[in-house]
């Protein structure tokens, strides 16, 4: 029997028992919803993921995408899948009922979405971008733009994407050279080239909406001079009727390490004919609008890492149950001793628990961050602001940290299978290839770390960080009260190292050291990620040990927490020590050829 793509019992435990999201049902925004809706959505997601999405994963990877006569051709199996995805309402599942969604809190809806992602990440990026583009227009568009675009994007009638990167402007978005020239009729002509555009062209929808960052002539250099425009693949009138082809074309597709079913395109605007667009938001306010989409996208990338890590773990877990190899360690000298399943071998059990604790910790991190997002929308005043700021603080971890440790978990799953894991007979090598991109797009791990250290730690004078540390203290005290003092002491030590190191980096920056804090940014992000996941594991263990039932599930939550916290404490101490040492060898190094 297959273990499937997601642990439903663990999802329900996190959502109901740990986070206590029923508190959201007491707020007006979510008062009409209930657990029954959540259960129905989970049921539907699991059925859809296993029966319709998962069968396309390997096929689409092997077939890949093609560029034929200027048109991107996606794996044929995607046409039926996309139709079913649209009809199931999965694109807007996280939105309100008025926008075609379930209206459920995101702390709930991210879990059915995660099951769909784990079934085929290459395909998921397409409807995911439809949703992202629609969400951005809903947040920043005028009334006419919202009425025209949002229903078509959330309903999947039109495709969407995001156009930031250029050959000379990758992480340095402000170096973009794409221009926008205003026309007498009030429209704009966009001219330039964008690269690495996920689903920049495809054959699944009649039209594609391109949100494009461009600079109006005379506006300043840097990100502050960029404006956001909407460009359609086909000319569109006010009623949404499609006309002739617009001046936007795919000029090439990338041949990538992973996500082969997802076309990554070079898009030319205004090369042979004018690319007509319309402004969204205010002039020179493009990055502010785009960040609305990017922050959501960054958390979605973390969800991708979690989903593939869990799918890989559960596959390796099932394999370890089925694979018979070797004898029990106490009988290893007896050639006639019975052979046992490899899940009985200590090192395999260690690897499985490494993966499991990472997966459950990441699920808690993303779930907690989604819960803060819900509170920021449903609450008012200071409570809403505090929730939003805490979500902002944790977003770099949700993307940067999650994508790194998620990749490590997938890599470990291959080791569990040994040589078999290296073969295409099993999906793990594809999971590994597909997971790599999570560390790169929507801002590399280094970019996330610099955002954390350079922007997020100091927001509001560090109040959000103090809020986080206070929450950790509360859980530590609760854990001691229920008999988990040993784990509480370890998490307390990590909490102290986190606070001390954050203050040290802040002090160095305030003293005028521009390079030291950035040199330590990525190690600090890993330190903070390990400390935060340890806190969340302690929270889950405390909840489990006080449960009315004490079966294997509850006992395993404590065991998983103990394993993770024990391993993480050493990593946190080592990183804190290295950061405090202030080694600047990387800055002083004389690299050949520089």
Per-residue CA distances from 318 to 1, 2, 322, 434 (Å): 8, 7, 6, 21
CA 388 to mean position of chain CA atoms: 17
Question: What is the CB-side half-sphere exposure of residue 537 using CA atoms within 13 A?
Answer: 34
CA 9 to mean position of chain CA atoms: 22
Q: Is the dihedral of CA 567, 21, 301, 71 positive or negative?
A: positive
CA 207 to mean position of chain CA atoms: 26
Of residues 195, 21, 218, the one with CA closest to residue 108: 21
Say what angle helices 106-119 and 121-140 make with each other, to 10 degrees: 140
* SS3 label, residue 229: strand
- Residue 214's H or E segment, with its range, is strand 208-216
Per-residue CA distances from 483 to 415, 491, 494, 545 (Å): 36, 14, 19, 9
Number of Cβ within 10 Å of residue 549's Cβ equals 7
Q: List for the chain the helix, strand, coil content (%; round to 5).
A: 60, 10, 25
What is the number of H-type helices and E-type strands within the chain? 19, 12
List own/partner pairs for 43-49 with CB under 8 A and 24 or more apart: 44/88, 44/112, 45/90, 45/111, 45/112, 45/113, 45/115, 45/116, 46/4, 46/5, 46/6, 46/8, 46/112, 46/115, 48/84, 48/88, 48/90, 48/116, 49/5, 49/115, 49/116, 49/118, 49/119
Burial of residue 89, with CB atoms counted within 10 A of its CB: 0-12 exposed, 13-18 middle, 19 or more buried: middle
Q: Report the alpha-carbon angle 403-404-405, nearest 5.
A: 100
Q: Is the dihedral of CA 99, 117, 35, 51 positive or negative?
A: positive
193, 404, 442, 554: which is the annotated catalytic residue? Answer: 442
Q: What's the 3-state SS for 356-424? A: HHHHHHHHHHHHHHHHHHHHHHHCCHHHHHHHHHHHHHHHHHHHHHHHHHHHHHHHHHHHHHHHHHHCC
Cα(301)–Cα(265) distance, integer angstroms: 19
Number of Cβ within 10 Å of residue 133's Cβ equals 25
Going by C-beta distance under 8 Å and a sequence separation of 6 or more, which residues neighbour residue 189? 180, 181, 183, 270, 274, 275, 276, 277
The answer to whether 442 is a known catalytic residue is yes
Catalytic positions, written as ranges: 442
């Amino acid at each position: 029997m297959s273990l499937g793509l997601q642990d439903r019992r663990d999802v329900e435990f996190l959502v109901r028992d740990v986070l206590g999201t029923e508190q959201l049902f007491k707020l007006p925004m979510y008062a009409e919803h209930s657990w029954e809706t959540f259960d129905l959505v989970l049921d539907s997601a699991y059925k859809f993921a296993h029966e319709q999405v998962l069968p396309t994963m390997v096929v689409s990877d092997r077939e890949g995408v093609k560029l034929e006569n200027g048109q991107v051709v996606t794996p044929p199996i995607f046409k039926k899948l996309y139709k079913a995805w649209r009809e199931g309402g999965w694109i807007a599942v996280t939105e309100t009922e008025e926008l075609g969604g379930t209206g459920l809190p995101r702390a709930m809806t991210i879990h059915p979405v995660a099951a769909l992602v784990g079934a085929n990440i290459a395909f998921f990026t397409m409807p995911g971008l439809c949703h992202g583009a629609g969400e951005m227009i809903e947040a920043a568009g005028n009334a006419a733009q919202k009425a025209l675009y949002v229903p078509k994007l959330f309903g999947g009638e039109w495709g969407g994407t995001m156009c930031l990167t250029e050959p000379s402007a990758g992480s340095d978005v402000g170096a973009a050279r794409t221009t926008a020239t205003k026309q007498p009729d009030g429209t704009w002509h966009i001219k330039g080239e964008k690269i690495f555009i996920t689903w920049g062209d495809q054959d699944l929808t009649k039209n594609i909406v391109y949100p494009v960052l461009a600079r109006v002539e005379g506006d300043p250099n840097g990100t502050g001079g960029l404006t956001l425009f909407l460009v359609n693949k086909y000319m569109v009138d006010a009623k949404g009727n499609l006309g002739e082809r617009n001046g936007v074309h795919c000029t090439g597709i990338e041949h990538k390490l992973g996500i082969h079913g997802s076309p990554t395109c070079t898009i030319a605007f205004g090369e042979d004919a004018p690319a007509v667009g319309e402004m969204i938001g205010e002039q020179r306010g493009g990055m502010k609008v785009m960040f609305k989409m990017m922050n959501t996208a960054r958390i979605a990338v973390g969800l991708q890492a979690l989903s593939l890590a869990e799918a890989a773990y559960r596959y390796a877990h099932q394999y370890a149950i089925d694979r018979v190899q070797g004898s029990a360690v106490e009988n290893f000298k007896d050639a006639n001793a019975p052979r046992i399943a490899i899940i009985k071998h200590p090192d395999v059990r260690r690897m499985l628990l490494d993966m499991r604790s990472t997966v459950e910790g990441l699920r808690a991190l993303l779930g907690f961050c989604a819960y803060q997002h819900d509170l920021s929308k449903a609450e008012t005043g200071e409570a809403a602001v505090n929730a939003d700021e805490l979500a902002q603080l944790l977003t770099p971890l949700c993307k940067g940290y999650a994508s790194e440790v998620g990749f490590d978990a997938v890599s470990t799953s291959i080791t569990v299978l040994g040589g078999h894991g290296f073969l295409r007979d099993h999906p793990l090598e594809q999971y590994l290839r597909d997971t790599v991109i999570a560390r790169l797009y929507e801002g590399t791990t280094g970019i996330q770390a610099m955002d954390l250290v350079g922007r997020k730690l100091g927001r509001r004078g560090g109040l959000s960080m103090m809020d986080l540390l206070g929450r950790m203290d509360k859980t530590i005290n609760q854990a001691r009260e229920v008999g988990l003092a040993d784990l509480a002491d370890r998490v307390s030590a990590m909490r102290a190292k986190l606070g001390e190191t954050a203050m040290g980096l802040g002090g160095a920056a305030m003293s005028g050291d521009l390079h030291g804090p950035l040199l330590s940014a990525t190690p600090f992000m890993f330190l903070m990620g390990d400390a935060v996941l340890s806190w969340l594991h302690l929270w889950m263990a405390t909840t489990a040990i006080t449960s009315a039932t004490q079966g294997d599930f509850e006992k395993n939550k404590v065991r998983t927490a103990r394993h993770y916290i024990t391993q993480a404490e050493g990593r946190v101490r080592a990183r804190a020590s290295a950061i405090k040492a202030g080694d600047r060898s990387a800055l002083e190094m004389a690299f050949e050829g520089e």
